Amino acid sequence: MKETILITGGAGYIGSHMVRQLAAHGHKVIVFDNLSRGNADAVIDAELVVGDIGNSEELAAVFKNSDIDAVMHFAALAYVGESVHQPDIYYRNNVLGTLNLIDAMHAHGINNLIFSSTCATYGQPESLPITESTPQHPINPYGHSKLMVEQILKDYGDAFNFRSIALRYFNAAGCAVDGSLGERHDPETHLLPLILFEALRVRNGGDPEESTLNIFGSDFETHDGTCIRDYIHVSDLCTAHTAAYHRMLQKPELGAEQFNLGVNRGYSVLEVIEACKKITGIDIQFNTVTRRDGDPPELIADASAAMIKLQWKPEFPSIEHSLQHAWDWFSKNPPDNL
Ligand code: UFG
């Protein structure tokens, strides 16, 4: 058996895919999740400890009871719009919760952390594509909360030799290639699933003219007026974590590092809808509504540092892969409230 890895948020979308990938590679995996937004049945091939990163005693118990070598920290609130209206829960969960976690790790002599950061830390970048040295000026509390943690990790690296790699995700997309796991948020707010839900509704006989799909703003300064994002397959995000973990093992002197994870290609909301029409063969209509709070117009990664230093390469760089895998998943696992 290889090293034991604790995955916080392992019942969530990206975390649950990570659990499976690590377990498949022979790691013992322990999931720590409060199940507030995750699903217990998404935890496959791992021990599930139900606990909250807000609770230092629950965290201490996990580290005391198991011989953990490293932590991958996914547990977080991650809705941009929600963070604008409820900043309190974002700072408490994402910043204080992470501080509890790394203090518990430090107290138990565990100094290896892979942290789920985000391109939302860049805010509205002055130039594209975004590299790791692009200035970070978040424009919503979610991005601020993740940037605060990055700073804490740098300071812990300098002071305590605490090793960390912060992975700044662009937009996670897709589902497990073998169809075993998918995306299940409640409520669902992400673009790709919502487009595919609309396709399912129409496939089930719903009227295309009564679309449930809303586009948040068509007056952004982009080529078609809608927001542009860099969509990265969830499976590729996971292989990047494994690569980051290997780098950490090979470089014990490592302090805090940060890498962008994207595919260096942007799609506008309208382009994603067009791609979904092709994959599903369904006439997907939409309504244009006002902008959502906190949305930057365009986020595209320069992920060359991850490709070089982590020796990582996305296996599914095209959005069609993500859409096809997601469509396969949602076709078999439609949401209850379609
Ligand atoms: N959008 C719509 N209609 C919807 C949902 C989304 O038009 O019903 C638009 C959004 O306004 C945005 C784009 O589609 O322009 C993508 O929105 P998502 O909600 O799918 O994703 P976000 O970019 O807002 O956020 C996601 C993650 C964050 C992460 C961010 C990085 O949820 O955690 O990607 O860009 F930080």
Pocket test for ligand 1, best of 171, 268, 271 (most atoms within 8 A of CB): 171
Look at residue 1 in the predicted model and tell me its pLDDT.
Answer: 67
Q: How far is the CA of 11 from the CAs of 7, 33, 43, 312, in angstroms?
A: 9, 6, 5, 25
Using a 6 Å cutoff on CB, does residue 190 contact ligand 1?
yes
For ligand 1, what atom is nearest to the CA of residue 226?
15
Look at residue 248 in the predicted model and tell me its pLDDT.
Answer: 95
Look at residue 252 in the predicted model and tell me its pLDDT.
Answer: 87
| 91 tagged catalytic | no
Look at residue 185 in the predicted model and tell me its pLDDT.
Answer: 87
Look at residue 338 in the predicted model and tell me its pLDDT.
Answer: 81
What spacing in Å lies between the alpha carbon of 93 and ligand 1's midpoint?
20
Which residue ranges in the chain fall short of pLDDT 70? 1
What spacing in Å lies between the alpha carbon of 187 and ligand 1's midpoint?
13
Strands (E), 176-250: 214-216, 228-229, 231-233
Q: State the number of CA atoms in the 13 A half-sphere of 191 facing the CB.
A: 28
> For helices 191-203 and 269-280, what crossing angle results, to 10°?
40
Set out the domains of the chain in order of their start, with CATH numbers. 4-173+232-261 (3.40.50.720), 191-228+264-301+309-332 (3.90.25.10)
Cβ proximity of 166 and 299 under 8 Å? no
Using a 6 Å cutoff on CB, does residue 118 contact ligand 1?
yes
CB atoms within 10 A of CB 115: 25
pTM of structure: 0.97
